[in-house]
Amino acid sequence: DTAVSQTPKYLVTQMGNDKSIKCEQNLGHDTMYWYKQDSKKFLKIMFSYNNKELIINETVPNRFSPKSPDKAHLNLHINSLELGDSAVYFCASSHSDRGGNQPQHFGDGTRLSIL
Amino acid sequence: GQNIDQPTEMTATEGAIVQINCTYQTSGFNGLFWYQQHAGEAPTFLSYNVLDGLEEKGRFSSFLSRSKGYSYLLLKELQMKDSASYLCAEHRHGNNNDMRFGAGTRLTVKP
């Protein structure tokens, strides 16, 4: 009955490789997000999708490409991995509500380590 | 980061009260979230303030002053399990639920 699930939980790979992280939510939310949390624990928004449409696209290298096949899934593909990509990547979801009082629910994170 | 400031670390004693402050930029501001994050785990929602004043929820309360660009999270009757990072996040007008996090305050509760 996991609400926001992302796989894999740990990802160790070499520089230059291409990898994907998957995220699925069963909360019926229409908005999904990807965040990056670096070694200093700073949580930064990368992308936001609402009903499969890109809403937020922060200044992120174009090696990072999100894909939303449906509103319950938001996957993150990363090309040509670099050392600086090592971080914890969190997926989150929420209802879209311009009133803003819709909390985001987070997955358990994917710990990406680049060798 | 992102014009949201909160102390990096705080220490308090079990059973005590602690206040974690957060300041943010006021332009485009809609509301203020507080999240708790235990080490190695996902952030979990604690509170959301959009109006000025104090909102109480059990041992945790959150305060907002829109004119001052200031919020605090108040934790009462501290327990060891409250040791965690507390993230202040600003909800801004515009994009759906655009939330910008502070760097978090790492709270250590000692016996």
Looking at chain B, which residue has its C-alpha nearest residue A101?
Answer: B48
Residue pair B39/B104 in contact by the 8 Å Cβ criterion = no
Q: Concatenate the DSSP letters of all residues of B21-70 into one string.
A: EEE---TTEEEEEEEEE-TTS--EEEEEE-SSEEEEETTEEEEEETTTTE
pLDDT of A60: 87
Res. B7: pLDDT tops 90:
yes
Return the pLDDT at A96.
Answer: 79
- Is any Cβ of chain A less than 8 angstroms from the Cβ of B24? no
A73 in B contact zone (CB under 8 Å): no
Distance CA A70, CA B84 (A): 34
Average pLDDT over residues B45-68: 94
Q: What is the mean pLDDT of residues B26-52?
A: 91
Confidence of residue B42 (pLDDT cuts 50, 70, 90): very high
CB A102, CB A94: distance < 8 Å: yes
Q: Which long-range contacts (CB under 8 A, 24 or more apart) does A15-18 make?
A: A15/A81, A15/A82, A15/A83, A15/A114, A15/A115, A16/A80, A16/A81, A17/A80, A17/A81, A18/A77, A18/A78, A18/A79, A18/A80, A18/A81
Q: How far apart are CA A72 and CA A4, in angstroms?
A: 9
Give me the pLDDT at residue B46, please: 96
**According to the model, what pLDDT value does residue A112 have?**
97
Per-residue confidence at B97, pLDDT binned at 50, 70, 90? low
Q: What integer pLDDT is reported at residue B20 of this predicted model?
A: 98
**How far apart are the CA of A27 and the nearest CA of chain B, in angstroms?**
15
Cβ of A108 within 8 Å of Cβ of B106? The answer is no
Three-class secondary structure assignment of chain A = CCCEEEECCEEEECCCCCEEEEEEECCCCCEEEEEEECCCCCEEEEEEEECCEEEEECCCCCCEEEEEEECCEEEEEECCCCHHHCEEEEEEEECCCCCCCCCCEECCCEEEEEC
Contact B96 A31 (CB under 8 A): yes
Among A41, A55, A108, the residue with its CB nearest the CB of B103 is A41
CA–CA distance, A93 with A26 (Å, rounded to integer) = 10
The whole-number pLDDT of residue A108 equals 95
State percent of chain B over pLDDT 70.
Answer: 95
What pLDDT, on a 0 to 100 scale, did the predictor assign at position B106?
96
pLDDT at A98: 56
**B96 pLDDT tier (thresholds 50, 70, 90):** low
Task: Look at residue A26 in the predicted model and tell me its pLDDT.
Answer: 96
Average pLDDT of adjacent 10-residue blocks, chain A of 115 residues: 89 96 95 90 88 79 92 95 96 78 90 95
Phi, psi (deg, nearest 5) at residue B3: 60, 25
What's the pLDDT at B2?
A: 60
pLDDT reported for residue A97: 65
Cross-chain residue pair A43–B43, CB shorter than 8 Å: yes
Q: Would you state the pLDDT for residue A99?
A: 56
Beta-carbon separation of B45 and A103 below 8 A: yes
